Amino acid sequence: MLKNVINSIVPAACASALAVGLIAGIAVVSSGAENQDYYLGVTEPVKDKEPFIRYGITLVHLQDDFWKGMAYGMVEETKKVGGKIVQVSIAGKYGNMAEQYAQIEAMMTKGIDVLVLGPSAYDGFDPMLAKVKAKGITVIAAGIPLGSKLADYGVVMSDFDVGKRMGEALCEHRPKDKATFQTLVLPGPAGAEWTKLRVDGLKESAKSCAGEEIISAPVGGEISLAYALATTSDMITKNPDASFVWAPAGGLGLGAIQAVKQRHAKMQVIASSLVRPDFQAMDEGTLLGVNTEPAILMGRLMVQYSIRRKLGLPTPLIKTDPGFSYPVVLTPTRILTEANYKQYPYEQTDIPPTDWSIDAFQ
**Axis-axis angle for helices 65-81, 295-311 (nearest 10):** 40
Is 109 in contact with 124 (CB distance < 8 Å)? no
**AA letter at 275:** V
Is 282 in contact with 338 (CB distance < 8 Å)? yes
How many whole angstroms separate alpha carbon 344 and alpha carbon 336?
Answer: 8
How many whole angstroms separate alpha carbon 158 and alpha carbon 227?
Answer: 26
Q: If phi over 0 gives left and psi between -120 and 50 gives alpha, with beta otherwise, what is residue 67?
A: alpha
- Closest to 65 (Cα-Cα) out of 252, 274, 238, 256: 274
Residue 320: the pLDDT is: 87
Beta bridge partners of 116: 57, 140
| Domain 2-157+293-361 matches domain 159-291 at the CATH topology level | yes
Residue 322: the pLDDT is: 83
Pairing of the two strands 244-246 and 181-185:
parallel
DSSP state, residue 266: S
DSSP per-residue letters across 196-248 = HHHHHHHHHHHHTSTTEEEEEPPTT--SSHHHHHHHHHHHHHH-TT--EEE-S
Residue 195: the pLDDT is: 92
Residue 39: the pLDDT is: 85
How many whole angstroms separate alpha carbon 75 and alpha carbon 70?
Answer: 9
CATH of the domain spanning 159-291 = 3.40.50.2300
Q: Is 37 exposed, middle or buried (0-12, 13-18, 19+ CB in 10 A)?
A: middle
How many whole angstroms separate alpha carbon 241 and alpha carbon 293?
Answer: 30
Residue 362: the pLDDT is: 54
Give this prediction's pTM: 0.84
CA torsion sign for 358, 222, 331, 53 is negative
Residue 353: the pLDDT is: 94
Is 228 in contact with 253 (CB distance < 8 Å)? yes
Superfamily of domain 2-157+293-361: Response regulator (3.40.50.2300)
**Where do the structural domains in the chain lie, given as residue ranges?**
2-157+293-361, 159-291
How many whole angstroms separate alpha carbon 243 and alpha carbon 268?
Answer: 7
In sequence order, the 6+-apart residues with CB closer than 8 A to the CB of 251 are 63, 64, 223, 224, 225, 228
State the 10-residue block means of pLDDT for the chain, 362 residues long: 32 33 30 52 92 97 92 96 96 93 97 97 96 98 95 95 97 94 93 91 97 93 89 97 95 96 97 95 97 96 97 89 90 94 92 84 54
